[in-house]
Structure 1
Amino acid sequence: MNPRERAVCVCFDGPRVLLMRRLKEGRRYTVLPGGGIEPGETPAQAAVRELAEETGLVATVTDDLVTVDHDDRRAHYLLMVATPGEPTLGGPEALAESEDNRYRPGWVPVAELADEPLLPEEARAVVLRAFAESLTDGR
């Protein structure tokens, strides 16, 4: 069986990274925006669509960072540049909101990433590497 494929958005706004803080069934954690790749979509197309749905931000993909298998999912991490602005929850995530299922998109300083319960754990290294490269590349 082929793993389900997912596009994962890595967006920076200066020294901040875009994260989705989650509360699900009493458990608090953080993820990068993104979601499933639909039939006929490329990972880049899925990332642009998912980011717009989840946060209202319009973005372009600037780099394919890495593809990682996480259990039953293959995750394509993509570096993106979003139009300036504050994210606003939308799409299926907004419809799924309840007292015990919440999504909070927001910009978080990369310097505070160690304090975030980011899942999957491998995502932290991807974000930090991309941020370090953006500083040296001037992106």
Structure 2
Amino acid sequence: MNPKERAVCVCFDGSRVLLMRRLHGGRQYTVLPGGGIEPGETPDQAAVRELAEETGLVATVTGKLATVDHDDRRAHYLLMAAVPGEPVLGGPEALAESEDNRYRPGWVPIAELADEPLVPEEAREIVRRAFAECLADGR
């Protein structure tokens, strides 16, 4: 059986990265925006859709960063050029909000990435590497 697939959005705004702070089941952690790839969708299409649903931000995919198997899910990490703005929670995540299930999208300075409880841990290095490449390319 093929693993479930997920598109993961890596978006920068200057020296900030877009993250989703989560509270779920009493656990606080941070993830990158993204979600499941629907039948007939490419990872790029899913990333654009998920980012718009979760944050209201419009983006285009500018590069593929990594494909990583995390337990039962294959994650496609994609570099996104997002229209600048403040993210606003929407989509299924907004509908699922409750006292014990919260999503808080926001821009976080790259300098503070080490302080975030980012999961999965492999995502931290993918973000750092992508940011360094963007700096080197003058983006």
TM-score, length basis structure 1: 0.99
- Any stretches of 5+ residues in structure 2 without a counterpart? none
Structure 1 letter corresponding to 2:132: A
Identity %: 86
2:36 is the counterpart of 1:36: yes
SS in 2 for 1:74: strand
Q: How does 1:58-97 map to 2 (within 5 A)?
A: 58-97=58-97
Per-residue deviation at 1:55?
0.1
Q: How does 1:113-132 map to 2 (within 5 A)?
A: 113-132=113-132
Per-residue deviation at 1:84?
1.1
SS in 1 for 2:10: strand
For residues 71-98 of structure 1, what are the alpha-carbon distances to aligned partners after superposition, in whole Å with 9 as ceiling and x for unaligned?
0000000000111100000000000000
SS in 1 for 2:77: strand
For residues 87-133 of structure 1, what are the alpha-carbon distances to aligned partners after superposition, in whole Å with 9 as ceiling and x for unaligned?
00000000000000000000000010000000000000000000000
For residues 5-52 of structure 1, what are the alpha-carbon distances to aligned partners after superposition, in whole Å with 9 as ceiling and x for unaligned?
000000000000000000001100000000000000000000000000
1: distance between equivalents of 2:84 and 2:11? 11
Residue 54 of structure 2 corresponds to which residue in structure 1? 54
Structure 1 letter corresponding to 2:91: G
SS in 2 for 1:61: strand
SS in 2 for 1:30: strand
TM-score, length basis structure 2: 0.99
1: distance between equivalents of 2:48 and 2:102? 22
1: distance between equivalents of 2:74 and 2:138? 29
SS in 2 for 1:84: coil
2:13 is the counterpart of 1:7: no
Structure 1 runs (4+) greater than 3 angstroms displaced: none
Structure 2 letter corresponding to 1:95: L
- The CA RMSD over aligned residues, in Å, is 0.4
